[in-house]
A and B are shown apart, each in its own frame.
Chain A
Amino acid sequence: MRPFTYERAESPEQAARAAAETPGARFIAGGTNLIDLMKHGIETPPHLIDVTRIGLDRIEETAEGGLRIGAMVRNADLAADMRVRRDYPVLARALLAGASGQLRNKATTGGNLLQRTRCLYFYDGITPCNKRRPGSGCAAIGGVNRMHVIVGASDHCIATHPSDMAVALSALDARVETVNGGGATRTIALADFYRLPGDRPEQETVLAPGELITAVTLPAPVEGAQLYRKVRDRASYAFALVSIAAIIRREGRAIAEARLAFGGIAPKPWRVEAAEAALTGSDGGRAAADAAADAILADAEGRGENDFKLPLLRRVLATVLGEAMAR
């Protein structure tokens, strides 16, 4: 672990200003991911700005009938919020499918969005990894890649985004609010928040250096059945092989609107418009599920050990839709 300096910010603006003043500074909130990475020497920030005392720890109703979730709201509190459980159950379920009770008590909403991949080579610290050491290569390509992406990859990186919460937020069309060192705020649709790896896999989001997430907003609740299904190697405390956040609104026996977001298959929460369109008007049966899966997997590519994710996604999507239609 590299030595670093530390300061505690009193407000979001002050935190962002401090970050702008110290190149390479990182915000620290729950620290459930950053501290691990610092111990391994994978993250080596010279300066930490503690944002746990800057407020932003409320969940408030918005004028539009949605929710504004402060960036410091803990994952456990967010999952337990009655409004979230009632109106956005896909989010509560995704949160509870992630990590462990202890981690959820510490982890924050903003930090969860920014958690880094669990690619074994990223964590290894020794083998080549373009995300960890840009330009060094990707050991996962041709290596142990059972957990890795089947869509959205580049020749430089095939790592997945590990968040469950972000998958649900993607299905909910959430937006991310930020402030920068100059005090300017902006709102970014979650769909635009993450970058694909391309040739710069170390750049994972569109956030500018020192830009601080202040909140995540949810639009007014949508009708329909909300499900989160996470397929994993053990019953708890394991990252998704494939996860599906589904919001399915029916009219009669037909699907009026479908939203599907996928985890475990891509460098970011994955939505495919054509797949959702394929379901609209359908009965959500096996043929419709296959058509949706075809759209999602059109450009999918297994890397050997993760080939199974293609049939896995297809099968699980079919049962998720079946459950949604049975609601």
Chain B
Amino acid sequence: MRYDKPISMTPLDARRIVAQPVDRVDGPAKLSGAATYSYEYHEEVPGAAYGMIVPAAIAKGRIVAIDSAAAEAAEGVLMVMTHRNAPRQGSGGDAAPQLVGSEIAHHGQAVALVVAETFEQARHAAGLVRVDYEREPGRFDLAEAERQARPPRGGEHRMGDFEAAFAASPFAVDVSYTTPDQAHAMMEPHASIARWDGDRLTLWSAQQLPDWSVGDIAATLAMPSEHIRIISRFIGGGFGGKISVYADAILSALAARALGRPVKLALTRQQIFNGTSHRPATIQRLRLGCDAEGRLLAIGHDSVSGNLPGRSFEEGAASQTRLLYAAPNRLIRNRKAVLDLAPAASMRAPGEAAGLLALECALDELAEKAGIDPVEMRVINDTPHDPERGPARPFSSRKLVEALREGQRRFGWERRDPVPCRVRDGRWLVGMGVASAIRENYVVEAKARVRLDGQGRLTVETSMTDIGTGSYTILAQVAAEAMGLPLDAVTVRLGDTRLPRGPGSGGSWGANSAGTAVYDACMALRDMLAQKAGLNSTDARFEGGMMHGGGRSLALAELAGEGVSAEGEMLPGGLTQSYAQASFGAHFAEVGVAIDSGEVRLRRMLGVFAAGRLLNPKTARSQAIGGMVFGVGAALMEANVVDRRHGLFINHDLAEYHVPAHADLPDIDAIFLDEEDDKSTPLKTKGVGELGICGAGAAIANAIHNACGVRVRDYPVTLDKLLDGLPPIG
């Protein structure tokens, strides 16, 4: 269906299965180990050889010599592939071609692949490959590279006279914030098994967007897309880190073809940090001006981020500022600089996650100057429509104010003392902070197929992936509700590019897009079944495994006969043009800052969100909390630390790249406000997966300031940045 006008009533409105907090349908498989991840297809692909890459040990320059003799002679080694003997490859997207020449573009780039009979043999032999390099100076410092940053793509977003309005504002802040490079740090590493059957390639591979990956791989291997099948049934987290194709997929395919034998290849945790992608660092300048009532008169947001030469991705950290608050005078710009670090790419809520860390703190700074409560400041500047386009483009739904008010009430905001350092609990200075959440809503093309068999079982098929989010569960819910079947009569098959093309997991579009395709397929199936019975589909009611209508009740199992199937699709229409669409929310955080050490510990946190209809409130809540945990990490600890001499992220393991531990998350909750958005999808959903991170870190940073009076504008807010500003002890 082309979705270009809001739908009215649908069978999902009954909400018997949809919108219920049902358990994950794949939970038992995951708990028991029956859920198979890409590296684990031992039975389907017996006899695979093991690959191990050799990562580049310099950041920029070239290989002058490789001595692989010792590795080739090592026990069990089947082959060593380097740029000298790697097959020619085509160009296939940002990251795809491997071992294509002697040039080193970034640390951790694969310079050799060793394949052996066992994992241990491959790993040992990889250590025996000697590579001599010629180093060239590289650009590793964003602050330096910023001077050469290129002007904004697609122009800057201007409205009114920003400079004059900012200069004339009774209250103003002009502040710069920095956010660091961050790692996706998903549990499952990048991993692939490649098998060739003649000229056909099957890749069991952790790919968030398997159909896109097929295109990239086909271009790289110079073969038809139709000859490649990717299977990604379960993915152990991605967060954007598995959107592009990396060395594991390409090199396992090349090696398997050369050896005539399946090859499996996983990147080690250490190799992932510099060898794949990351959220790039940003430098952001916020210029905000308001009147005495707190009304924003001028909003200026400039952001710069870096990426390797020729890469298209940039961190649009200023972009969400176009939609979040009203103000008549605006100047919003993203710029990109060239760096020679690992490739920058999307990480959970690209844009908003970094941008709100700056915007939502700068707004707090302005509120403090103007003497306005931070919650009121956000309420005052709410807007019912796209601030640039005016009332011609209203929001499809927007419950920012409701989220702020609900959170304010539930969190006990009235107990917040606006003056820092006045609330103590033992050696802890206690503070509260708030921040708004916004994440733009995306809907993309998607296809799905449903099949009803003679036993009354429904199978849903789409190449959509489940990266831990709950895709299996929500698609089963949509289909069960639409067909009037119990949930356990539905089987969902995902993550296989032989299935109808799903949207993949990214941009929080999965439920919107794949969910609509499944819904559309079910509606087509209902029509077919009704016709079979000689009914108008509008006269048929589907309930309890039966079709009722025309004074008859027929079991779906019987109607299906030998089986009947239908296809459906989502084709987004013009509704995103005529309506601004985003999910919204508000974060409330309470932290303690140790008065002696400056250690910051979260005490409690609440997120209140509105993201359209929730297909499953339980998985949605998990997603929201997961995002908030990302925000805790961003505020307090997460950073890829750049060694600017050697040009690499030097903390490349999970002992030293800190993400929050359980002890850092004592009391964290997320609730959702009732909302249905029929401008977004016929399911009345909006994106959920990334909303939780948006603004979460800023609420914590604002709480830190409220606790101890120190405003750190350089994330993460670690104790060394607070110490100097803490009050004297004892």
Taking beta carbons and an 8 Å cutoff, which residues of A are in contact with B? Answer: 1-3, 39-41, 100, 118, 120-121, 123-124, 126-127, 139, 142-144, 146, 231-238, 241-242, 286, 305, 308, 311-312, 315-316, 318-319, 322
CA distance A121 to B648 in the complex (A): 11
Once A1-B120, A234-B664 are accepted as A-B contacts, the answer to whether A312 and B637 lie under 8 Å apart by CB is no
Q: Which of B603-659 contact A (CB under 8 A)?
A: 636-637, 641, 643, 645-646, 648, 650-653, 655-656, 658
Do A236 and B663 touch (CB < 8 A)?
A: yes
A231 surroundings in chain B (CB, below 8 A) = 594, 597, 599, 719
A237 surroundings in chain B (CB, below 8 A) = 655, 661
Do B427 and A319 touch (CB < 8 A)?
A: yes
- Sorted nearest first, the 3 A-B pairs with minimum C-beta distance are A235-B663, A308-B720, A236-B663
Can you add 10 more A-B contacts, CB < 8 Å, to A237-B655, A308-B719?
A: A2-B124, A39-B123, A120-B651, A143-B645, A231-B599, A231-B719, A234-B661, A234-B664, A312-B598, A319-B729
A232 surroundings in chain B (CB, below 8 A) = 599
Q: B661's contact among A2, A121, A235, A305, by CB below 8 Å, is which?
A: A235
CA distance A123 to B656 in the complex (A): 10
Do B718 and A233 touch (CB < 8 A)?
A: yes
Contact of B660 with A by CB under 8 A: yes
Mark B585-611 against chain A: 1 for CB-CB distance below 8 A, else 0. 000000000111111010000000000
B723 surroundings in chain A (CB, below 8 A) = 308, 311-312, 315
Taking the closest CB of chain A, its distance from the CB of B656, in whole angstroms, is 6
A126 surroundings in chain B (CB, below 8 A) = 57, 646, 648
Mark B156-196 against chain A: 1 for CB-CB distance below 8 A, else 0. 00000000000000000000000000000000000000000
CA distance A319 to B599 in the complex (A): 14
A142 surroundings in chain B (CB, below 8 A) = 645
CA distance A38 to B494 in the complex (A): 39
CA distance A40 to B656 in the complex (A): 15
8 A–B pairs (Cβ distance < 8 Å), ordered by A: A40-B270, A127-B643, A139-B643, A143-B650, A231-B597, A236-B663, A311-B723, A312-B723
Report the nearest B residue to A142, measured CB to CB.
Answer: B645
Contact of B127 with A by CB under 8 A: yes
Say whether chain A's binding surface is mostly helix, strand, loop, or mixed.
Answer: loop
CA distance A139 to B646 in the complex (A): 9
Contact of B534 with A by CB under 8 A: no
Do B599 and A322 touch (CB < 8 A)?
A: no
Contact of B2 with A by CB under 8 A: no
Counting residue pairs across A and B whose Cβ atoms lie within 8 Å, the total is 101
Q: Which of B44-72 contact A (CB under 8 A)?
A: 57
Do B729 and A41 touch (CB < 8 A)?
A: no
CA distance A143 to B641 in the complex (A): 11
Taking the closest CB of chain B, its distance from the CB of A107, in whole angstroms, is 14
Q: Which of B386-411 contact A (CB under 8 A)?
A: none
A322 surroundings in chain B (CB, below 8 A) = 730
Contact of B662 with A by CB under 8 A: yes
Do B661 and A124 touch (CB < 8 A)?
A: no
Do A41 and B127 touch (CB < 8 A)?
A: yes
Do B124 and A118 touch (CB < 8 A)?
A: no
CA distance A311 to B723 in the complex (A): 8
Do B597 and A118 touch (CB < 8 A)?
A: no
B75 surroundings in chain A (CB, below 8 A) = 3
B427 surroundings in chain A (CB, below 8 A) = 319
Taking the closest CB of chain B, its distance from the CB of A185, in whole angstroms, is 35
Do B601 and A235 touch (CB < 8 A)?
A: yes
Do B643 and A144 touch (CB < 8 A)?
A: yes
B656 surroundings in chain A (CB, below 8 A) = 118, 120, 123
Q: A238's contact among B646, B652, B658, B662, by CB below 8 Å, is which?
A: B658
Do A312 and B719 touch (CB < 8 A)?
A: yes
Once A144-B643, A315-B729, A322-B730 are accepted as A-B contacts, the answer to whether A234 and B637 lie under 8 Å apart by CB is yes
CA distance A123 to B648 in the complex (A): 14
B730 surroundings in chain A (CB, below 8 A) = 286, 318-319, 322
A127 surroundings in chain B (CB, below 8 A) = 643, 646, 650
Report the nearest B residue to A310, measured CB to CB.
Answer: B723
Do A233 and B637 touch (CB < 8 A)?
A: yes
Do A234 and B636 touch (CB < 8 A)?
A: yes
Taking the closest CB of chain A, its distance from the CB of B123, in whole angstroms, is 5
Mark B713-730 against chain A: 1 for CB-CB distance below 8 A, else 0. 000001110011010011
Do A316 and B650 touch (CB < 8 A)?
A: no
Taking the closest CB of chain B, its distance from the CB of A140, in whole angstroms, is 10
B718 surroundings in chain A (CB, below 8 A) = 233
Do A236 and B661 touch (CB < 8 A)?
A: yes
Report the nearest B residue to A124, measured CB to CB.
Answer: B650
Do B637 and A121 touch (CB < 8 A)?
A: no
B726 surroundings in chain A (CB, below 8 A) = 315
CA distance A238 to B594 in the complex (A): 17
CA distance A270 to B192 in the complex (A): 48
